[in-house]
Structure 1
Amino acid sequence: MDPEKMARAMARWWQTINEKDDDPTATNPMLYGPLQGAKISKVNQYVATVILCLSAVAAGTGLAWTAPVLDQLNANSTLPATDEEASWIAGFLAIGAWVGAVPAGILAEQIGRKKTAIAIGLAYAIGWALTVIATNVYVLYVARFVIGIATGGSCVVTPMFISEYAETSIRGLLGTCFQLFLTIGILLVFVVGAVTTWVNLSWVCGVVPILFIIGMFFVPESPSWLVKRDRQNDATLALKWFWGKYCDANVAIQEIQNDLESSGGSGTLMDLFTNPTNRKGFTISVMLMFFQQFSGINAVIFFTVDIFKMAGSNLDPNFCSIIVGVVQVLMTFAAAALVERAGRKILLIQSSAVMGICLTALGIYFNLQSREKDVSSFGWIPLVSLVLFIISFSLGYGPIPWMMMGELLAPEVKGVASSFVVLFNWTSVFIVTKTFKMMVDGWGRDYTFWMFAVVMAVGTLYGFKAIFETKGKSNAQIQLMLSSK
């Protein structure tokens, strides 16, 4: 085919896609009214989200890396590690994420979302480079710590950035992409880690942040941040990129400006805790992260292979990990489709309820096993329970807390509030992953999973009592609901 004709055909195809995506009623969560019939294209919003969420893929690879690798770091390995050292290799990522969360929020407010995201990508690349060249566990500690810093930063900046350009009509879909791409990173590690060495796996993981950095050069800065910095001309150009050239950028910028002025305060830590509305949104966000992590999800992700070995399953542990990873990706994708239909609240309630049942079943299985009962014919129970656990987590407490964090926090305090929510999240990650094996050794596997089940029962009650539905609500409406008006 003639190259010139092909180019013209591609141009017509791209124009058609943009025209199909024009939505004259679409609004941004920062905007509290329709844009007077202006046409808005969604294409670049999807493109920007895919690029931004490559940082979530990088976070997923960092999280899951220990699952196939820890078994390889044995006495016969070129880099041997004891059980205690292995637990620290897993734990240092959470420590790094804890350290990186607050600076990421501060940087995002000072130098912008885009530059902070690029800096996070560089940190990922440095961490994986250190992993590849590591010759002892101490270098691995440093590498995992650096990757953790980048992971904590991603959890702050990516959901914040997406929430500032996503339209109300696709806010739920784009908001769940962070968790979706994180699960893709986890699955990537499970698949590659099952067929190659930990060094080759680390090379593969290191490619993701490089792609992320390259992609970020094509994404403009957040329009909201540019308006905060009185850069209206740049904000106009950014809006035209995100929403298409036919959007009414002047009206949009004025709406963003009005919103920032009406929120009051200077966006400091004091504003977060002295304002009752800000405090309530922050509290709900923290509680959602608490139930997300104390469901035991990262104990499952970090130690998937070990759990199947403890259960005495006849299935290959690496194969079981891949099954869990595939289910997690598919169900998180399903959550993206359901969240704007079913709503946030019902998905969270079903998530905690079903996870509690699955954890109870795991506890019963391990209790029978510890009492030397014959459970050989029930080796499928751990797999079924964990698959159902992952399904329910992926439909609720996986993606929705990250999305609701962007919805519940007022724009003026979003930077500092997101940092502390993520700080709490990763503190919880460290506690669960560092103490999981200690709890198993001290309490037994049965009581460990029953403890997580009790947390999920409390989470179900909390969902009924404290969480309100944000589906289809503008940012202004959500803030009024938080203030009980």
Structure 2
Amino acid sequence: MQISVHKNRIYQYMAALTGTLGIVSSEMHYGWPSPTLPILLNGTDKLQMDETEGSWLTIMPLVGAILGAIITGLVIDILGRKRLILLSSIPFFISWITIGFAETSVLLHVARFLAGLTDGLSFTAVPMFLGEIAEPSIRGLLSSMCPVSIVIGLLLINILGSYLTISTTAFVSSIIPVILLVTFVWIPESPYFLLMRGRYDDARSSLQKFRGSTDVETELERLAKAVKEQNESTGKFVDLVTCPSNRKAVFIALGLRSVQQLTGITAVTFYCKRVFEKSSNFIAPEVATIIYFTVQLVLSAISCLMVDISGRRPLLIISLAGTAVTLLINGTYLYIKNCTEVDTKDFDFVLLATLLCFIVIFSLGLQTIPLLIMSEMFPTNVKAFALCLADVYFSVIASVISKFFHGTSNAFGMHVPFYTFTVCCVFGLVFIVLWVPETKGRTLEDIQRFLKGEIKM
């Protein structure tokens, strides 16, 4: 694969760089509790709250994302991918400004619910858009920009939140959706969507811009034929269950999302700074958190470049096996530290080291590939419903896992959730080996033929 930016692909790369700014803003909201929650719980800010209220504030975006994904699934094939991505900038901006001016915890909950609602929009529209505009040879790279943007958002909010006040952090963060609005407006609409709406000439113009060439008739005819076949019957939500190929796609997509979340990654993200407080004798929690997300960003970017070279399955298998080992070491260290008489003061670096290893190996595959494969699995007539379902599912499972992490850590010790996540990784390996296909270099149409049993991959 050619990594350098080809002139004829400039619109594809710009679409990925600008469109994912909404995901950056969304993940800044998700990562916001890590530097902020300790301040709210310690009573050092004008706003104060207890542990229970703080745990609900933490998962409020996940609650909002459920409603946002449902709404997006209903309107994205009417309004279009580009329009919804642009519209997402407005509620993201409002949510940050609300946090900046909030003087009650109620306003904080409302703002974070609104951010979650918009997250449901972004995580449905952006992966769909990038999957539809990308050439097969770089689809892995472009689609992987979504999970890379997740890490960028988490790193940014931890840097800002560690050194600025809660209000100043929110005001600075509100700049991101503004940049999204003024940059993405120049990107063409998806040719798939335009063909779905019968706008053949507009689809040709869009494809010419994305391919940097006027010679697109062969590809346009292939896309038009695929869209026509996939939309011969109007897609319904129930088609995800009643159609065998869609049912297989749902099983693979949601299975991978489960494997990813059952490593505990979202819970660790929410409570990252509090986890690192366990090794505060070795390094400041703020510094450890920033190092953690910086390493995650670098490795996610490397995975983004590798995914179209090495393939999806090898990276997933290596990533999950390594993640299981680091989780086991983490759990064992925390058990020894909290449940035995062994003096671990001289070994506080172990928690930082193993969590850094965890995020290194996690980012090689599990960070980027589940979202990438999800954008590849579904035909156009049900893709909106599928991504809506996936985002609702993610919000539910991430909420449950985060509450599980919080509850079991407080009741039994932090080693319990880490041991639980280790066991889940073992089951995840079995799932990937048996059921996840290799989609590297395949067109979206080839993937549909595989799901229907017409070809092998």
Tell me whether the two structures share a fold, i.e. TM-score over 0.5.
Answer: yes
Query: What is the CA distance between 1:313 and its match in structure 2?
Result: 4.3
Check if 1:408 corresponds to 2:393. no
Aligned match of 2:50: 82
Query: What is the CA distance between 1:412 and its match in structure 2?
Result: 2.0
The C-alpha deviation readout for 1:130-170, integer Å capped at 9, x for no partner, is: 11111010000000000111112111111000011000111
Aligned match of 1:208: 176
Question: What is the CA–CA distance in structure 1 between the aligned matches of 2:404 and 2:181, rounded to whole Å?
Answer: 35
Question: What is the CA–CA distance in structure 1 between the aligned matches of 2:386 and 2:233, rounded to whole Å?
Answer: 14
Match of 2:103 among 135, 160, 166: 135
Aligned match of 2:225: 258
Aligned match of 2:411: 442
Q: Structure 2 counterpart of 1:392, which letter? A: I
Q: How does 1:168-179 map to 2 (within 5 A)?
A: 168-179=136-147
Check if 1:66 corresponds to 2:51. no
Match of 1:374 among 343, 350, 353: 343
Question: What is the CA–CA distance in structure 2 between the aligned matches of 1:57 and 1:313, rounded to whole Å?
Answer: 32
For the residue of structure 2 that corresponds to 1:339, the secondary structure is helix
Aligned match of 2:284: 316
Question: What is the CA–CA distance in structure 1 between the aligned matches of 2:301 and 2:233, rounded to whole Å?
Answer: 38
Question: What is the CA–CA distance in structure 2 between the aligned matches of 1:448 and 1:380, rounded to whole Å?
Answer: 20
Q: Structure 1 counterpart of 2:36, which letter? A: V
Q: How does 1:272-287 map to 2 (within 5 A)?
A: 272-287=240-255
Aligned match of 2:448: 479
Query: What is the CA distance between 1:20 and its match in structure 2?
Result: 8.2
Question: What is the CA–CA distance in structure 2 between the aligned matches of 1:130 and 1:152, rounded to whole Å?
Answer: 19
Question: What is the CA–CA distance in structure 1 between the aligned matches of 2:349 and 2:389, rounded to whole Å?
Answer: 40
For the residue of structure 2 that corresponds to 1:225, the secondary structure is helix
Check if 1:302 corresponds to 2:270. yes
Question: What is the CA–CA distance in structure 2 between the aligned matches of 1:472 and 1:240, rounded to whole Å?
Answer: 21
Q: Is the 8 A contact 2:404 2:417 kept in 1?
A: no
The gaps in structure 1 that reach 5 residues or longer are: 1-18, 23-40
Match of 1:147 among 93, 115, 120: 115
Q: Is the 8 A contact 2:279 2:349 kept in 1?
A: no
Q: How does 1:284-295 map to 2 (within 5 A)?
A: 284-295=252-263
Match of 2:235 among 238, 246, 267: 267
Check if 1:190 corresponds to 2:158. yes
Question: What is the CA–CA distance in structure 1 between the aligned matches of 2:328 and 2:87, rounded to whole Å?
Answer: 43
| Greater Cα radius of gyration, structure 1 or 2 | 1
For the residue of structure 2 that corresponds to 1:287, the secondary structure is helix
Q: Structure 2 counterpart of 1:189, which letter? A: I
Aligned match of 2:363: 394
Query: What is the CA distance between 1:312 and its match in structure 2?
Result: 5.0
Question: What is the CA–CA distance in structure 1 between the aligned matches of 2:419 and 2:146, rounded to whole Å?
Answer: 29
Aligned match of 1:219: 187
For the residue of structure 1 that corresponds to 2:38, the secondary structure is coil
Structure 1 residues 245 and 338, CA gap change in structure 2 (3 angstroms): closer
Question: What is the CA–CA distance in structure 2 between the aligned matches of 1:211 and 1:46, rounded to whole Å?
Answer: 16
Question: What is the CA–CA distance in structure 2 between the aligned matches of 1:312 and 1:302, rounded to whole Å?
Answer: 18
Q: Structure 1 counterpart of 2:383, which letter? A: K
Aligned match of 2:421: 452
Q: Structure 2 counterpart of 1:79, which letter? A: L
Query: What is the CA distance between 1:182 and its match in structure 2?
Result: 1.5
Match of 1:233 among 188, 197, 201: 201
Q: Structure 1 counterpart of 2:52, which letter? A: E
Structure 1 residues 482 and 443, CA gap change in structure 2 (3 angstroms): farther
Q: Structure 2 counterpart of 1:87, which letter? A: S
Query: What is the CA distance between 1:110 and its match in structure 2?
Result: 1.3
Check if 1:384 corresponds to 2:353. yes
Query: What is the CA distance between 1:309 and its match in structure 2?
Result: 1.4
Query: What is the CA distance between 1:265 and its match in structure 2?
Result: 3.0
Aligned match of 1:21: 6
Question: What is the CA–CA distance in structure 2 between the aligned matches of 1:230 and 1:83, rounded to whole Å?
Answer: 53
> Percent same amino acid among aligned pairs?
29
Question: What is the CA–CA distance in structure 2 between the aligned matches of 1:20 and 1:273, rounded to whole Å?
Answer: 40
Query: What is the CA distance between 1:378 and its match in structure 2?
Result: 1.6
Question: What is the CA–CA distance in structure 2 between the aligned matches of 1:375 and 1:92, rounded to whole Å?
Answer: 36
Aligned match of 1:120: 88
The C-alpha deviation readout for 1:397-431, integer Å capped at 9, x for no partner, is: 11111110111112221111111011101111111
For the residue of structure 2 that corresponds to 1:470, the secondary structure is coil
Question: What is the CA–CA distance in structure 1 between the aligned matches of 2:100 and 2:334, rounded to whole Å?
Answer: 37
Aligned match of 2:24: 57
Structure 1 residues 311 and 372, CA gap change in structure 2 (3 angstroms): farther
Structure 1 residues 20 and 63, CA gap change in structure 2 (3 angstroms): closer
For the residue of structure 2 that corresponds to 1:469, the secondary structure is coil
Query: What is the CA distance between 1:308 and its match in structure 2?
Result: 1.3
Aligned match of 1:353: 321
Aligned match of 1:32: none
Aligned match of 1:16: none
Q: Is the 8 A contact 1:100 1:150 kept in 2?
A: yes
Question: What is the CA–CA distance in structure 2 between the aligned matches of 1:419 and 1:426, rounded to whole Å?
Answer: 11
Q: Is the 8 A contact 1:265 1:271 kept in 2?
A: no
Question: What is the CA–CA distance in structure 1 between the aligned matches of 2:98 and 2:401, rounded to whole Å?
Answer: 26
For the residue of structure 2 that corresponds to 1:98, the secondary structure is helix
Question: What is the CA–CA distance in structure 2 between the aligned matches of 1:404 and 1:313, rounded to whole Å?
Answer: 41
Query: What is the CA distance between 1:483 and its match in structure 2?
Result: 2.3
The gaps in structure 2 that reach 5 residues or longer are: none
Q: Structure 1 counterpart of 2:258, which letter? A: F
Question: What is the CA–CA distance in structure 2 between the aligned matches of 1:231 and 1:122, rounded to whole Å?
Answer: 28
Query: What is the CA distance between 1:105 and its match in structure 2?
Result: 2.2
